């Protein structure tokens, strides 16, 4: 088991500049000069401890970190799925895309993944027949015309000009155990197919990340529900923005209220939670201290 630290000043840096020959793909840095189990574990720790408090951006950061384990150009999708462990089929809860600066392309990737869940395509990321097989590592070759014509999910992948793919699915430690973490990396050219060694590193990364997800998002969930129950509807809208370190001016713009109104709501949140600063509110929200 890998122990995740509670806090760190280390953050993940993402290069936003896309190469000229493919606008879909950001210039993912080369993997660090590390070997063995250390590199995937360190990559997971950087994601878990990054100061990102909303799930979709956190998953996008995770997807970008996953690509650092692959030396070739690819795009990655990190997803949290929920469902019933007694039945096949899971529903995506949140997704994040790494490796692309093209917002439209990222949205197409997410829609393609959701399509597989909606249609129950067995080749998709959210159709799991047997959870006892977890963790699961899968490799798929580029889709040919025959397969694309028979499967909507594979056809959608082909239309996006995606090629070979590696996917890892792991269980997130939670009670009840109805959450999965799925990380999928798709090649953007025919020149690369993921190797077994790369798949193993991705699996190690995903298992460490699933534990970190439980620390960051699952375990504080009951406390957060209790904290939100003390607030008005408007104040509940403010909390996620407050946790993202948005200024009161930015929060006012986002929720279409005056800055003065937002300031009064923030004061009311602090009073309801018995805290005196934004730092104390964030520590309480993340379950690092308990006032209730």
d(C-alpha 285, C-alpha 272), whole Å: 13
- Asked if residue 174 and residue 160 are part of one domain, the reply reads yes
d(C-alpha 130, C-alpha 89), whole Å: 10
Q: What is the pLDDT of residues 116-150, one digit of tens each?
A: 776 655 667 766 656 667 788 888 888 777 777 77
- Asked if residue 86 and residue 225 are part of one domain, the reply reads no
Count the neighbouring beta carbons within 10 Å of the beta carbon of residue 172: 20
Strand partners, 185: 76, 166
pLDDT at 70: 85
**Is residue 125 in some structural domain?**
yes
CATH (domain of 157): 3.30.450.40
Residues of the chain with pLDDT > 70, as a percent, come to 76
The answer to whether 78 touches 183, Cβ cutoff 8 Å, is yes
- Asked if residue 260 and residue 207 are part of one domain, the reply reads no
Instruction: Work out the pLDDT band at 28, boundaries 50, 70, 90.
Output: very low
3-state DSSP assignment of residue 98: strand
Q: Look up residue 218 and give its DSSP letter.
A: I
Cβ neighbours of residue 71 closer than 8 Å, sequence gap 6 or more: 30, 31
Mean pLDDT of 263-273: 95
Is the per-residue pLDDT at 222 higher than 90?
no
pLDDT at 231: 93
- Asked if residue 232 and residue 187 are part of one domain, the reply reads no
**Is residue 32 in some structural domain?**
no
**Is residue 17 in some structural domain?**
no
Residue 255: CA count within 13 A, CB half-sphere: 24
Rg (CA), the chain: 20
The answer to whether 16 touches 181, Cβ cutoff 8 Å, is no
Higher per-residue pLDDT: 129 or 62: 62
- Asked if residue 108 and residue 65 are part of one domain, the reply reads yes
- pTM metric for this prediction: 0.64
Mean pLDDT of 254-277: 93
- Asked if residue 225 and residue 93 are part of one domain, the reply reads no
Q: Look up residue 195 and give its DSSP letter.
A: -
The answer to whether 42 touches 12, Cβ cutoff 8 Å, is no
Q: Which domain holds residue 233?
A: 221-285
pLDDT at 227: 87
Mean pLDDT of 152-158: 84
Q: Which of 134, 135, 138 lies closest to 124 in space, CA to CA?
A: 138
**Is residue 44 in some structural domain?**
yes
243: which 2 tokens?
């946790």
- Asked if residue 235 and residue 130 are part of one domain, the reply reads no
**Is residue 46 in some structural domain?**
yes
- Asked if residue 177 and residue 234 are part of one domain, the reply reads no
């Amino acid at each position: 088991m890998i122990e995740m630290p509670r806090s760190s000043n280390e953050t993940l840096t993402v290069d936003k500049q896309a190469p000229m020959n493919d606008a879909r793909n950001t210039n993912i840095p080369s993997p660090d000069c590390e070997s063995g189990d250390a590199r995937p574990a360190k990559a997971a720790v950087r994601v878990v401890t990054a100061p990102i408090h909303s799930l979709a951006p956190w998953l996008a950061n995770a997807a970008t970190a996953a690509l650092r384990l692959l030396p070739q150009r690819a795009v990655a999708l990190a997803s949290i799925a929920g469902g019933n462990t007694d039945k096949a089929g899971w529903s995506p809860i949140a997704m994040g895309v790494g490796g692309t600066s093209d917002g439209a392309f990222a949205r197409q990737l997410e829609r393609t993944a959701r399509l597989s869940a909606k249609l129950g395509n067995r080749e998709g990321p959210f159709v799991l027949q047997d959870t006892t097989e977890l963790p699961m590592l899968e490799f798929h070759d580029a889709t040919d015309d025959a397969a694309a014509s028979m499967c909507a999910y594979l056809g959608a992948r082909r239309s996006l000009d995606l090629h070979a793919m590696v996917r890892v699915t792991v269980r997130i430690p939670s009670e009840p155990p109805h959450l999965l973490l799925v990380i999928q990396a798709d090649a953007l050219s025919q020149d690369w197919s993921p190797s077994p060694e790369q798949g193993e590193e991705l699996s190690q990364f995903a298992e460490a990340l699933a534990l970190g997800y439980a620390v960051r998002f699952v375990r504080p969930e009951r406390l957060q529900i209790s904290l939100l129950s003390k607030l008005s509807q408007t104040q509940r809208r403010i909390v996620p923005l407050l946790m993202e370190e948005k200024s009161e001016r930015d929060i006012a713009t986002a929720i279409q209220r005056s800055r003065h109104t937002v300031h009064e709501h923030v004061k009311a949140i602090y009073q309801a939670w018995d805290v005196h600063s934004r730092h104390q509110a964030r520590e309480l929200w993340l379950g690092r201290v308990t006032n209730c």
